[in-house]
Amino acid sequence: MKLLSLNFFYVVAGTFLGLVAAHIALDRNHPRRWGSALFWGLLALVFLMGKAVPAVWVGYLLLVLVGLAATNQVGGKVEAGPSLAERTASALKLGNRLFLPALLIPATAVIGTFLLGRIHLGDVWLMDATNVTVSSVGLGAVVAAIVGWRLTGAPARTPVVEGGRLLQTIGWAIILPQFLAALGGIFAKAGVGPVVADVVARALPTQYSFIAVLAYCVGMALFTVCMGNAFAAFPVITLGIGLPFIVQQHGGNPAIMAAIGMLCGYCGTLLTPMAANFNVVPALLLELKDKNAVIKAQVPIALTILAANVALMYFCVYRF
Burial of 132 from C-beta contacts in 10 A (0-12 / 13-18 / 19+): buried
Phi, psi of 153 (to 5 degrees): 70, 25
| Residue-level pLDDT at 220 | 93
Q: Give CA–CA dist 315/307, Å, rounded.
A: 13
Q: How far apart are CA 43 and CA 65, in angstroms?
A: 8
Q: What is the mean pLDDT of each run of 10 residues along the chain (320 residues)?
A: 80 91 88 89 88 83 87 74 71 81 89 81 76 86 88 82 82 76 73 77 88 93 86 85 91 92 92 81 76 89 95 91
Instruction: Report pLDDT for 267.
Output: 93
For residues 178 and 229, give the distance between their C-alpha atoms in angstroms, rounded to a whole number. 9
* Contact criterion met (CB below 8 Å) for 262 and 151: no
CB neighbours of 49 closer than 8 A, spacing ≥ 6? Answer: 14
pLDDT given at position 171: 79
Q: What is the pTM of this model?
A: 0.72
| CB contact at 8 A, 280 and 291 | yes
Specify the length of the chain in residues. Answer: 320
Detail the DSSP E strand segments found in the chain. 2-4, 120-121, 124-127
